[in-house]
């Protein structure tokens, strides 16, 4: 069948089956061949023999012009690539790679230093934010208690102050341990780096020692060869100057002795260096252990102090709370007793009034009864006023004691806050000093402004006084002139 027919191989790519376009492309001459043809067509003076590669840009510009567009060879359009394009691409790639290396590749030590400074700054910033947040939160809670619970504002302020005291005491331990933790990490990294450096130095020393040992082995081999030459029987039958051989043997022996002496001396020096290093290491280990023990003792002592203070504050808060609850219960019971007594007295008074009103209706002693009731009312009012005065004095005394206890608690809390600020925030002290200096400067500037204003006011006042005097003098002169004119008119 026609579909199963396979064309012979030699006819697959034959010219007979190509189109005109394919035939033109197959017979087209390349740019390289065309430039070689151009060079061969030059006069002998300008011909470059042996030119097989593509010439550089100035040479090409001689023949094709500075801005070639297309070269038509055998009916095919070939667009030559510009020479500078590839160079520019390579240059851009190299510049980009170099910029990336400069910007991103840093040494390990620079990375460590940058990370340490970043951690230190972040820790300092976090601590400042924590202090600011604690102060703002305490102030916010106290203000909210003042606004919402006005009748309990003192109790809420004391409880909240104690709570924030405990919170700050617990947080201070964690905050104080942070720089220590960072320093331990830094020491671990430095120790690792030092270990790597020591490893490299050890490898280098071993290589030097191996070269030295190789040199000694070579000297021994040379000496063995010389001795073997002396001991060989055939060696003695030659006409050899044995004086030279003996000198060589003596020189080799002396060289061996010097090498042995040098090795012995080096061993002694190495042992002494090792013993000195070991003594120094023992001393440093002992000092480090003593410092660690002292630091641990100081940390334990501070921890005990803080724990005891924490227990004291907790006990104090519990005592204050219990005292307030007891006082509240006593006041409620006292008010209930007073209310019961007043209700009983009121009931009895109403019954007595009913009985007396019934008896008084037919009594002949109404006026005497009225006087007696008036006297009782006066006495009762006097007794009530005495009781109220006594209660008021007791209330004043109670308020005074309560204010004294609050002042004492507030003084303790303020003293702790001041110690905490001194303990933790030296930057705040610097800022306060700068603020005081700025305040003094502002006060001096304010005084200067006041003096300047006062001087301006005095100047303005002096000008106004001078103007007024000038005006008065002008008026007086005008009056005098008019009087003289009037006198002259009357002929005086």
User: Residue 51 has what pLDDT?
Assistant: 47
| 243-254: average pLDDT | 73
Is residue 71, in this structure, part of any structural domain at all?
Answer: yes
Is residue 118, in this structure, part of any structural domain at all?
Answer: no
Task: Quickly state the pLDDT bin for 321 (edges 50, 70, 90).
Answer: confident
- Taking only the tens place, the pLDDT of each residue in 397-437 is 878 888 887 888 788 888 888 877 777 777 777 777 888 88
| pLDDT reading at 460 higher than 70 | yes
Total domains, the chain: 1
Is residue 184, in this structure, part of any structural domain at all?
Answer: no
User: Residue 65 has what pLDDT?
Assistant: 47
Instruction: Copy the structure tokens of residue 273.
Output: 């260096």
| pLDDT reading at 85 higher than 60 | yes
Per the prediction, the chain carries an average pLDDT of 74
- Higher-confidence position of 364 and 466: 466
Is residue 326, in this structure, part of any structural domain at all?
Answer: no
Is residue 419, in this structure, part of any structural domain at all?
Answer: no
Percentage, residues of the chain above pLDDT 90: 0
- Taking only the tens place, the pLDDT of each residue in 271-286 is 899 888 888 888 989 8
Poorest-confidence range of 22-36, 101-115, 460-474? 101-115
pTM of the model: 0.22
| 103-125: average pLDDT | 67
| 173-186: average pLDDT | 69
Q: What are φ and ψ of residue 63, in 5° steps?
A: -105, -35
Is residue 51, in this structure, part of any structural domain at all?
Answer: yes
User: Residue 121 has what pLDDT?
Assistant: 78
Task: Quickly state the pLDDT bin for 363 (edges 50, 70, 90).
Answer: low
User: Which segment, 166-170, 177-181, 259-263, is predicted with the most confidence on average?
Assistant: 259-263
Q: Containing domain of residue 83, as a range?
A: 9-88
Under 8 Å between Cβ of 321 and 177: no
Q: What are φ and ψ of residue 73, in 5° steps?
A: -125, 120
Poorest-confidence range of 129-133, 212-216, 373-377, 426-430? 426-430
Instruction: Copy the structure tokens of residue 71.
Output: 């070269």
Is residue 282, in this structure, part of any structural domain at all?
Answer: no
- Taking only the tens place, the pLDDT of each residue in 127-175 is 877 887 877 777 776 666 555 555 555 555 565 566 666 565 556 555 5
- Taking only the tens place, the pLDDT of each residue in 22-66 is 767 767 767 776 766 666 666 666 655 554 555 555 554 555 444
Q: What are φ and ψ of residue 8, in 5° steps?
A: -60, 150
């Amino acid at each position: 069948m026609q579909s199963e027919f396979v064309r012979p191989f030699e006819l697959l790519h034959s010219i007979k089956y190509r189109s005109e376009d394919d035939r033109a492309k197959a017979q087209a001459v390349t740019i390289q061949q065309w430039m070689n043809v151009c060079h061969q067509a030059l006069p002998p003076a300008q011909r470059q023999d042996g030119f097989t590669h593509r010439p550089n840009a100035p040479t090409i510009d001689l023949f094709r012009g500075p801005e070639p567009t297309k070269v038509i060879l055998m009916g095919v359009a070939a667009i030559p690539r510009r020479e500078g394009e590839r160079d520019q691409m390579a240059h851009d790639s190299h510049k980009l790679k170099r910029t990336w290396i400069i910007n991103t590749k840093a040494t390990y030590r620079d990375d460590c230093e940058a990370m340490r400074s970043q951690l230190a700054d972040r820790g300092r910033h976090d601590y400042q934010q924590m202090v600011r947040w604690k102060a703002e939160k305490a102030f916010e809670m106290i203000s909210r208690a003042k606004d919402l619970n006005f009748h309990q504002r003192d109790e809420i302020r004391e409880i909240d102050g104690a709570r924030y005291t405990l919170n700050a005491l617990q947080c201070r331990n964690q905050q104080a341990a942070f720089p220590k933790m960072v320093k331990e990490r830094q020491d671990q990294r430095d120790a690792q780096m030092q270990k790597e450096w020591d490893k490299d130095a050890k490898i280098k020393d071993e290589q030097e020692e191996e070269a030295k040992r190789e040199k000694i082995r070579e000297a021994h081999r040379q000496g063995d060869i010389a001795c073997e030459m002396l001991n060989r029987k055939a060696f003695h039958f030659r006409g050899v100057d044995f004086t030279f051989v003996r000198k060589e043997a003596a020189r080799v022996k002396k060289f061996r002795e010097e090498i042995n002496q040098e090795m012995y001396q080096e061993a002694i020096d190495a042992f002494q260096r090792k013993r000195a290093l070991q003594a120094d290491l023992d001393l440093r280990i002992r000092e480090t252990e003593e410092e660690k023990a002292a630091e641990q003792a100081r940390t334990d002592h501070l921890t005990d102090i803080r724990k005891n203070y924490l227990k004291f504050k907790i006990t104090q808060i519990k005592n204050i709370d219990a005292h307030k609850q007891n006082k509240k219960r006593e006041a409620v019971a006292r008010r209930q007793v007073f209310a019961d007594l007043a209700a009983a007295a009121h009931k009895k008074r109403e019954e007595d009034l009913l009985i007396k009103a019934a008896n008084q209706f037919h009594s002949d002693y109404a006026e005497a009864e009225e006087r007696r009731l008036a006297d009782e009312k006066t006495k009762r009012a006097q007794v009530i006023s005495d009781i109220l005065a006594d209660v008021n004095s007791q209330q004043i005394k109670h308020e005074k004691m309560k204010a004294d206890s609050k002042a004492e608690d507030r003084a303790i809390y303020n003293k702790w806050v001041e110690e905490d600020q001194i303990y933790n925030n030296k930057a705040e002290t610097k800022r306060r000093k700068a603020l005081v200096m700025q305040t003094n400067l502002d006060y001096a500037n304010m005084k200067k402004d006041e003096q300047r204003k006062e001087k301006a006011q005095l100047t303005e006042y002096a000008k106004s006084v001078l103007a007024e005097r000038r005006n008065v003098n002008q008026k007086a002169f005008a009056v005098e002139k008019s009087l003289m004119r009037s006198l002259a008119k009357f002929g005086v």
